[in-house]
A = this chain, B = another copy of it.
Amino acid sequence: MRFLHTADWHIGKNLAGYDLLADQAATFKEIEQIALENKVDAVVIAGDLYDRSVPSEAAITELTHELMQLNLHDHLPLLVISGNHDSAIRLGVGRQWYQATDLFLNTDFAAAFKPVTIQDTQFFLLPYFGLQQVKNYFQDDSLRTLNSAMTAIVERMQENFAPNKQHVLVAHFYAAGSTRVQSDTQMEIGGLSAVDTSIMVPFDYVALGHLHSRNALKEDRVRYSGSPMKFSAGEANLEKGVWIVDTDSWQIDWHPLKPVHQLIVLTESFAKLTDPQFAKQYAKDDYYVIKLTDRQVIPDVMSRLREYYPQIISLERKNGFQTPHSKVDRKAATEDPFDLLQQFYEESANNPLSPMQEKWAQAALKQAQKEE
């Protein structure tokens, strides 16, 4: 059989305040197209379908449409698990009914051991889990590490291996040997430690979600698909796409996705960036990570850059500031307290103020000036 492996859709995510829903909808259509053109027998989505445990109504509408399109319109079986960004309970609503049309959505740890069989392949759907769930399930408090837990899980799954079938694990965690990128690291807060890939050797293929780069692991049969879109500055240079896995030939092909909007890193001086000749080669609706080579304080830097690059998601100083000992060089800085604040925030947070933060800051300053 042939299946498509994707993960980490993060429907409803915004990029430094910019709504990605339209781009996500377009990217979904690309994925659907690849699935149909390659006549896959199933689509695997390995967790983090939503970006938040309580997604917005708009995000719910979009994801529901996507699942309907694949499952009810295209009649594709789906093999889906919840990730650490999903609420297992919220995402899981309806799953008991979805099975009737071969939408297999597992958000329940205890249900991971009963495989879903499609043609020659058994799929084990292991949702994102916490160590305590494993201890409870096995009634074994000695399972204190993720590796011991995962060893117990795989052994229990093996009891249900049909010998004449292929065995695929769908899971969502950080596997050992992976190279992390920025937005993954943010995800790791409070998350799990690494799982050793050797534990997963009994499987013919492991379809992973969690890390956003397909290059995070260097294993032939244990793979991350990565996210279908770039969700952080650290992903700017990654190629995004999906795997198509053929279980007869074990041919595993990469199908790149064309980004709807680019995420571009520009490492330049302020003068260069604001030179109209230079700037005009860059599309206004792409996303920009700007690394300024200047070291001096530049008044109103963000607004001036946004004239040319309206969608800046991050602003850094490649070479730091002129006066590394003082947080804000009061002499070099303009007298305008808003510029000072902006500069200070940028320096401390390594990010510019968002448009909303700018508004708040200006309102607060106005208030403070009134009170003076």
Contacts and interface: CB of A to CB of B under 8 A. Distances in A.
Contacts of A97: 72, 94, 97-98, 100-101, 103
Interface stretch (A60-68, A178-186, A322-330): A60-68
Interface residues of A, number: 18
A87 interface: yes
A57 interface: yes
Interface in A66-99: 68, 72, 87, 89-90, 93-94, 96-98
Contact of A93 (B60, B87, B103): B60
A60 to B, nearest CB: 6
A101 to B, nearest CB: 6
A54 interface: yes
Residue among A60, A96, A97 facing the most chain B CB atoms (10 A cut-off): A97
A97 B101 CA distance: 8
Interface string A29-58: 000000000000000000000000010010
Contacts of A64: 93-94, 96
A85 to B, nearest CB: 15
A99 to B, nearest CB: 9
A93 B96 contact: no
Contacts of A94: 64, 93-94, 97-98
Contacts of A60: 89-90, 93
A52 to B, nearest CB: 12
Contacts of A100: 97, 100-101
A173 B290 CA distance: 54
A327 B54 CA distance: 43
A123 B100 CA distance: 24
A314 B72 CA distance: 50
Residue among A54, A61, A87, A100 facing the most chain B CB atoms (10 A cut-off): A100
Contacts of A87: 57
Contacts of A103: 97
Contacts of A101: 97, 100
A130 to B, nearest CB: 15
A57 to B, nearest CB: 4
Residue among A87, A89, A101 facing the most chain B CB atoms (10 A cut-off): A89
Contact of A89 (B57, B72, B89): B57
A97 B73 CA distance: 12
Interface string A231-266: 000000000000000000000000000000000000
A158 B89 CA distance: 40
A217 to B, nearest CB: 32
Interface of A: 54, 57, 60-61, 64, 68, 72, 87, 89-90, 93-94, 96-98, 100-101, 103
6 closest cross-chain pairs (CB), A and B: A94-B94, A57-B89, A100-B100, A97-B97, A97-B98, A60-B89
Given A94-B94, A94-B98, 4 more contacts: A57-B89, A57-B90, A61-B89, A64-B93
